[in-house]
Amino acid sequence: MSELTTVARPYAKAAFDFAVEKSAVDNWAAMLHFAGEVAKHEKLQALFASNLGTSQKADAFIQICGEQLDASGQNLIKVMAENERLPALPAVAELYAELRHEYAKEVEADVKSAVALSADEQSKLSAALEKRLARKVKLNCSIDPSLISGTLVQVGDLVIDSSVKGKLGRMAHSLQS
């Protein structure tokens, strides 16, 4: 995947810069997400690996995507096909989404708790995370009864574990050391 990320980065950056210039960041996010999901399909992976010409691959992909791609999105597909980079489309979509979140100064936080968080608890947690990260935070809450009590918050590489399960694990580790 790291090779695809390296290949995808300039395409994602170019698409993002173009989208910002045209004030179409959300439209491009939707297009790239859709194209990335389509490109993951195993039949399309076989098409990408086939001996068809690059213009035929691009035309087939554009035809499958239909009206989901505007003219600029179709041009991106054609350029990627010419350079035999269509398999990198899912990585382009992921990198574009990261650029979009960075641009909007927002992040997604995965929050696991032993019990469902109330709306008040969610708003307090969101406010605390926004203050700490200096970004707008969108919470993705889920319930994990194995935590016993407390929460486990993950934002990218940052993990904040205030669960009883985590505290017991850290205590056991320090006692064994």
**pLDDT digit string (tens) for 117-149?**
999 999 999 999 999 988 889 999 999 999 989
Average pLDDT value over all residues in the chain: 90
Domain residue limits, the chain: 2-102, 105-176
| Closest residue by Cα to residue 97 from 173, 30, 35 | 30
What's the pLDDT band for 2 if we cut at 50, 70, 90? low
| Closest residue by Cα to residue 94 from 165, 166, 11 | 11
List pLDDT tens digits, range 59-102: 999 999 888 999 999 999 999 999 989 899 999 999 999 899 88
For the domain with range 2-102, which CATH number is right: 1.10.520.20, 3.40.50.450, 1.10.10.10, 1.10.460.10? Answer: 1.10.520.20
- Decide the pairing of beta strands 136-143 and 151-155: unpaired
Distance of alpha carbon 57 from alpha carbon 78, whole angstroms:
9
Distance of alpha carbon 127 from alpha carbon 133, whole angstroms:
10
16: exposed, middle or buried (Cβ count in 10 Å: 0-12, 13-18, 19+)? buried
Dihedral angle, C-alpha 58, 63, 67, 71, nearest 10 °: 30
Amino acid residing at 149: S
Distance of alpha carbon 23 from alpha carbon 17, whole angstroms:
10
Q: Which residues pair with 109 in a beta bridge?
A: 139
Torsions phi, psi of 20, nearest 5?
-65, -45
Does 39 score more than 70 pLDDT? Answer: yes
